[in-house]
Amino acid sequence: MKGPSYFQRPVIQVWHLLDCLDFYFTDKPDVDYVWGYYFGGGYWELPEEKYPNQEQMLAYARELEARVEKEFSALCDEDLLKPFSRDDSATTWLGHYIYAVRHTMHHHGQLAVLLAEQGIEGGSWY
């Protein structure tokens, strides 16, 4: 819960990252994504006493991991070159996936710094 600013707290960084991964790998691409739905609201709207705990965050992460693995394992090279038109971040599915990975690594780095500043192991890159 500690960090140099509201957004730069480990709980917020993890929550934001998982919500974004849920969006990037939604299993309902034709439905408008509702940010923060998983925990009944976003970190920007719920009071701290309603924030998910570590166990809930890890469960969400495991669900997303399974979904991402399933999606990637079903792809072939041709799929990666298909047009992507759900948002403005990419023109192909490959571009979309690259953006999702880069965004994930960005927040992984932020988490590593936040933890290291608190004297906690910052995590592994593999």
- Residue ranges covered by each domain of the chain: 10-117
In the chain, the percentage of residues whose pLDDT exceeds 70 is: 93
Count Cα atoms within 13 angstroms, Cβ side, for 98: 10
Written as one letter, the residue type at 111 is: L
What is the token pair recorded at 19? Answer: 């919500």
What residues pair up with 83 in beta bridges, in sequence order? 92
Q: Taking 90 as the threshold, does the pLDDT of residue 18 lie above it?
A: yes
Burial class (CB in 10 A: 0-12, 13-18, 19+), 114: buried
Secondary structure, 3-state, 19-53 = HHHHHHCCCCCCCCCCCCHHHCCCCCCCCHHHCCC
Alpha carbon distance 89, 96 (integer Å): 7
Amino acid 29: pLDDT: 76
Q: What is residue 124's predicted lDDT score, i.e. its pLDDT?
A: 67
Model confidence, pTM: 0.87
119: tokens are: 């004297």
Report residue 8's pLDDT band, with 50, 70 and 90 as the boundaries: confident
CA dist., res. 40 & res. 87, Å (int): 24
